[in-house]
Amino acid sequence: MTPQDASLKAEEICRLAPVVPVLVVHEVAHARPLAEALVAGGLPALEVTLRTPVALDVIREMAQVEGGVVGAGTLLTPEDVVAAKEAGARFGVSPGATDRLLDACESHDLPLLPGATSASESMRLLERGYSVQKFFPAEAAGGAPFLKSLASPLPQIRFCPTGGVGPGNAMDYLSLPNTLCVGGSWVAPSAMVKAGDWTGITALAKEASGLG
């Protein structure tokens, strides 16, 4: 898959809803009800971070949920790419980008949303063909004012800011011309997941899907 095709796919996924839930799931049994709750609340694109030992099994389960588009986050190595693809991930997200990671995503046909936090990082990715990028860690790296400043010199790059984004500041990003959607963990708080409060999570997802 070319970087250009990857970006087209990433844009399509980012346009499904204003928020992509960033999920750290510790129990495989939570996978299906969690994905169903988020999809029911209007958030179909889901990022499962590869940060727990069960993450790949969680992707396998969530990939069966109707209406969901499940991706793998925290991709760091070519091995992560192969494993994510094999588990059924339809897209990948990485906090930054390396040549090895980009090569692996391109050769395994996994559309990637690669991370960047500076004009130079964004330009390098754009030079390779990635016009849709994750802005991470969004708040710590300068927040909405920083991203807004990139819109004039780099209007061809669209972002999914993630990291420190929540209901209080999501609109600061979503109102920018270079933001397609935001990523965030607030729609699936660990206490609610642990308690199996799927109705509560659907309610949070509904609020989030109404943003923008």
Catalytic residues: 47, 134
Q: Which stretch binds ligand 3PG (CB under 6 A): 6-14, 63-71, 118-126, 178-186?
A: 178-186
Neighbouring C-alpha atoms within 13 Å toward the C-beta of 33: 14
Query: According to CB under 6 A, which one of 162, 178, 202, 209 is a site residue for ligand 3PG?
Result: 162
Of the pair 72, 106, the CB lying nearest ligand 3PG is at 72
Contact flags string 22-41 toward ligand 3PG, x per CB under 6 A: x-------------------
Q: In what order do the strands lie in the sheet with 158-161?
A: 115-116, 132-135, 158-161
Q: Is 96 in the site for ligand 3PG (CB under 6 A)?
A: no
Please tell me the distance from the alpha carbon of residue 145 to that of residue 173, in angstroms, as a whole number: 9
Give the chain's length. Answer: 212
Q: Is 161 in the site for ligand 3PG (CB under 6 A)?
A: no
Least distance in Å: CB of 75 to ligand 3PG? 13
185 binds ligand 3PG (CB under 6 A): yes
- C-alpha span between 35 and 165 (Å, rounded): 20
Reported for 190-197, long-range contacts at CB under 8 A and 24+ positions apart, including other chains, are 190/24, 193/25, 193/30, 193/34, 196/30, 196/33
Task: Out of 3, 44, 92, 163, point to the residue binding ligand 3PG (CB under 6 A).
Answer: 163
Among 81-89, 107-115, 142-150, 163-171, the segment contacting ligand 3PG (CB under 6 A): 163-171
Give the amino acid at 73: G
Q: What residues does 40 pair with on adjacent strands? A: none
